[in-house]
């Protein structure tokens, strides 16, 4: 006896290789013990009973959306800095003058775990209202062992409060904090000796910002070696503002993903393809920084690199809490197809988190994380700007919205 049977629906399963969107019309989905027990055409439904049956009246069902790159937890906001940028200052100039990430660090250090969770909750709820069921949340605004730990704890609290599956990432290597500006090595050692061992039991992965205003490839190499030794996965902010060879470095460490990639070289594309590393595209940051160099999407596509899309929700470069708007930006600014954009928030986002065995497509055995939409065509998910399309959301087979 199934727990739940959803009928009279169209399923965008997002399984590759078949119909566009893996779509099946007039379908049904059976849920048992939080997982998808059966999915297929309604006409083929086995003769099995369910404790509860719901008629979805022809709505579309997709995998619950997965936002695989966010900095959702932070203190304060940076609207004043944005106003300065609109008056001509650049992101790098502000960062070098002690604003930028460092100003969010100051606000984050002044907040308790509970205050951080409370401030992040509206952002998490906004994602959930747009169909997100899994979110990755990075630390990276504490930059000291205690505050980095509080950020990761707050990420767990936010997930519980907003009913989101959370994947947590240590981003202690986001920027060198001001108290270490003259002694970078000591900060890298602190990450390796204290923060990575401390995070090993809480976090799933370690990330770094490989950039002229962040960390050098050599520093990232040391940090990744330590992370892997502690059993943590790695991922990298690479080639956002300049080509540092970060993607190739990430690939050498079997990274789950390399993210941003505006300045990715052909060698970088080949390295990602060879390692099976996911390219995570972040059009919100590209848009908000008025960047003009788009990531080499055609080359990534040609090389068969899986592409994910994420909000990169953060106070400095992407104050974006709408996955559907991120999908639209990926299509309009980066020329993804709407199907690629949806794969970027489902199947490929799951891969970017190493969770592709459990989530990201609608298949028997996967978690029953589902989004139900008031749309006639799957392309509408990337088409509308700011529409309220979600009809219902299920996590592990439980309806949560
Ligand atoms: N790249 C980004 O776009 C964000 N972090 C990063 O490494 C920006 C973070 C911020 O400005 O607060
Ligand atoms: Fe980021």
- With a 6 Å cutoff on the Cβ, whether 316 touches ligand 1 is yes
Same domain, 134 and 237: yes
Same domain, 57 and 81: no
- With a 6 Å cutoff on the Cβ, whether 103 touches ligand 1 is no
Tell me the pLDDT of the chain averaged across its residues: 97
Encode pLDDT of 282-330 as tens digits: 999 999 999 999 999 999 999 999 999 999 999 999 999 999 999 999 9
pLDDT for residue 138: 98
pLDDT tier, 14 (very low <50, low <70, confident <90, very high otherwise): very high
- Please check the confidence at residue 401 and state whether its pLDDT lies above 80: no
* 207 and 169 Cβ atoms separated by less than 8 Å: yes
Task: For residue 157, give the CATH number of its domain.
Answer: 3.20.20.140
User: Which residue's alpha carbon is at the smallest distance from atom 6 of ligand 1?
Assistant: 209
Same domain, 55 and 141: no
pLDDT tier, 95 (very low <50, low <70, confident <90, very high otherwise): confident
Pocket residue to mutate for ligand 1, from 95, 171, 174, 220, most atoms within 8 A of Cβ? 174
Distance CA 170, CA 10 (A): 38
pLDDT for residue 47: 85
How far is it between the farthest Cα atoms of the chain? Answer: 71
Same domain, 39 and 128: no
- Please check the confidence at residue 178 and state whether its pLDDT lies above 80: yes
- Please check the confidence at residue 7 and state whether its pLDDT lies above 80: yes
Percent residues over pLDDT 70 in the chain: 100
Boundaries of domain holding 386: 4-63+361-399
Among 100-104, 152-156, 356-360, which stretch is predicted with the lowest mean pLDDT?
100-104
Residues around ion ligand 2, judged by CB within 5 A, are: 312
Give Rg (Cα) of the chain. Answer: 21
Relative to the CA of 78, which ligand 1 atom is closest?
12
Buried b (16+ CB within 10 A) or exposed e, 336-366: bebbbbbbbbbbbbbbbbbbbeebbbbeeeb
Distance CA 187, CA 205 (A): 19
* 25 and 76 Cβ atoms separated by less than 8 Å: no
Pocket residue to mutate for ligand 1, from 143, 209, 281, most atoms within 8 A of Cβ? 209
Tell me the ligand closest to 209's alpha carbon: 1
Task: For residue 21, give the CATH number of its domain.
Answer: 2.30.40.10
Same domain, 250 and 138: yes
Pocket residue to mutate for ligand 1, from 143, 176, 240, 317, most atoms within 8 A of Cβ? 317
Same domain, 206 and 302: yes
pLDDT for residue 9: 98
Relative to the CA of 214, which ligand 1 atom is closest?
7
Same domain, 56 and 193: no
Instruction: Report the number of distinct structural domains present in the chain.
Output: 2
Same domain, 73 and 44: no
Distance CA 250, CA 268 (A): 10
Relative to the CA of 237, which ligand 1 atom is closest?
7
Same domain, 104 and 225: yes
Same domain, 343 and 365: no
Candidates 350, 365, 384, 371; CA nearest to 10 is 371
Strands 370-373 and 390-395: antiparallel
Encode pLDDT of 332-366 as tens digits: 999 999 999 999 999 999 999 999 999 999 999 99
Relative to the CA of 100, which ligand 1 atom is closest?
11
Same domain, 335 and 379: no
Same domain, 195 and 322: yes
Distance CA 297, CA 283 (A): 12
- With a 6 Å cutoff on the Cβ, whether 100 touches ligand 1 is yes
Relative to the CA of 211, which ligand 1 atom is closest?
7
pLDDT tier, 183 (very low <50, low <70, confident <90, very high otherwise): very high
- With a 6 Å cutoff on the Cβ, whether 237 touches ligand 1 is yes
Distance CA 78, CA 101 (A): 9
Distance CA 123, CA 320 (A): 9
């Amino acid at each position: 006896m199934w727990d739940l049977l959803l009928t009279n629906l169209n399923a965008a399963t997002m399984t590759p290789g078949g119909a566009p969107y893996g779509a099946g019309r007039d379908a049904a989905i059976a849920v048992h013990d939080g997982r998808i027990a059966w999915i297929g055409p309604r006409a083929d439904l086995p003769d099995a009973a369910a404790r509860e049956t719901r008629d979805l009246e022809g709505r579309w069902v997709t995998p619950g959306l997965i936002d695989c790159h966010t900095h959702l937890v932070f203190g304060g906001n940076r609207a004043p800095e944005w106003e300065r940028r609109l008056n001509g200052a650049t992101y790098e100039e502000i960062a070098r003058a002690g604003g930028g990430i460092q100003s969010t660090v100051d606000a984050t250090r002044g907040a308790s775990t509970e205050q951080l969770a409370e401030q992040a909750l509206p952002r998490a709820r906004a994602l959930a209202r747009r169909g997100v069921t899994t979110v990755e949340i990075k630390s990276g605004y504490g930059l000291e062992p205690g505050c980095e730990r509080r950020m990761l704890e707050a990420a767990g609290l936010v997930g519980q409060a907003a009913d989101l599956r959370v994947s947590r990432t240590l981003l202690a290597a986001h920027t060198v904090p001001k108290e270490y500006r003259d002694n970078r090595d000591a900060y890298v050692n602190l990450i390796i000796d204290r923060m990575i061992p401390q995070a090993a039991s809480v976090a799933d992965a370690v990330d770094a910002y490989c950039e002229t205003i962040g960390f050098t490839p050599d520093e990232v190499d040391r940090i990744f070696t330590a992370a892997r030794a502690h059993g943590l996965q790695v991922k990298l902010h690479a080639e956002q503002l300049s080509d540092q060879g970060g993607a190739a470095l990430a690939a050498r460490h079997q990274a789950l993903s390399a993210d941003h990639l505006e300045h990715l070289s052909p060698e970088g594309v080949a390295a990602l393809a060879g390692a099976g590393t996911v390219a995570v595209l972040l059009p919100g940051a590209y848009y908000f920084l008025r960047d003009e160099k788009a990531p080499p999407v055609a080359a990534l596509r040609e090389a068969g690199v899986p592409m994910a899309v994420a909000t990169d929700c953060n106070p400095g470069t992407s104050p974006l809490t709408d996955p559907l708007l991120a999908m639209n930006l990926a299509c309009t600014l980066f020329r993804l197809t709407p199907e690629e954009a949806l794969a970027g928030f489902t199947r490929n986002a799951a891969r970017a988190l190493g969770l592709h065995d459990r989530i990201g497509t609608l298949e028997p055995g996967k978690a029953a994380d589902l989004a139900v939409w008031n749309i006639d065509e799957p392309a509408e998910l990337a088409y509308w700007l700011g529409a309220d399309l979600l009809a219902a959301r299920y996590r592990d087979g439980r309806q949560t919205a």
